[in-house]
Structure 1
């Protein structure tokens, strides 16, 4: 590989990128904490409807947390990548894993929603 083909990130830029990713993760953690508090405070129409809605909401929140954590892991891996080939491999692996995860999550949410109490929907 020719010296001009090397993909190098100066140490200062790498440190800045890592710090930015960490700050974004901390901001997201604060957001998730507030969202969890909001979910905990949620009041529904009836106890069974509320439980079904809460179960679906908590599952969706869990999926969102997992997906965002995966994106942060990718960002950290990309910052540490040694060359463009590694960047492309990391991105392709991430997309494959996320498509698999999203398919499974959609299936689970669909099943949970269909199991939620019928009283959760307001009458028409």
Structure 2
């Protein structure tokens, strides 16, 4: 290729400088985008971890309550088998129902607190 042909296709210095600056700006913008995307993904993962932890607390509490209630029912059934007469059966049943109502009210209150705490943690802004 002759010098004359090469000179015709040579990019002027100013244009080359502008192109290089544009490429550099694009590179920086892309790096910022990637960083922001990674930060967003990290925030989502943290949020999901908080939600999972809250759900784990709620389900753990629910399982513990179910175990307590089933155990109380089994204990009640066993006490009924040992009852000597109908008045004792009625007394035992009345005591069981009252105890279960108190237990359920307490469990509902505690579960409300656990659910509230989990919801507040999930909604808390990232520090």
TM-score norm. by structure 1 comes to 0.58
In structure 1, the residue matched to 2:103 is 101
Q: 1:68 aligns with which of 66, 70, 79?
A: 70
Deviation digits for residues 65-88 of structure 1 (CA, Å, limit 9, x no counterpart): 000100000000001111111100
Unaligned runs of 5+ in 1: 1-44
SS in 2 for 1:82: coil
Specify which structure has the higher proportion of helix: 2
- Unpaired segments ≥5 residues, structure 2: 1-46
Normalised to the residue count of structure 2, the TM-score between the two structures is: 0.57
1:91 and 2:93 are equivalent in the alignment: yes
- 1:108 CA displacement: 0.4
Greater CA radius of gyration, 1 or 2? 2
- Give the whole-Å Cα distance in 2 for the aligned partners of 1:118 and 1:58: 18
RMSD: 1.8
Query: How many residues in Structure 1 have an aligned counterpart in Structure 2?
Result: 77
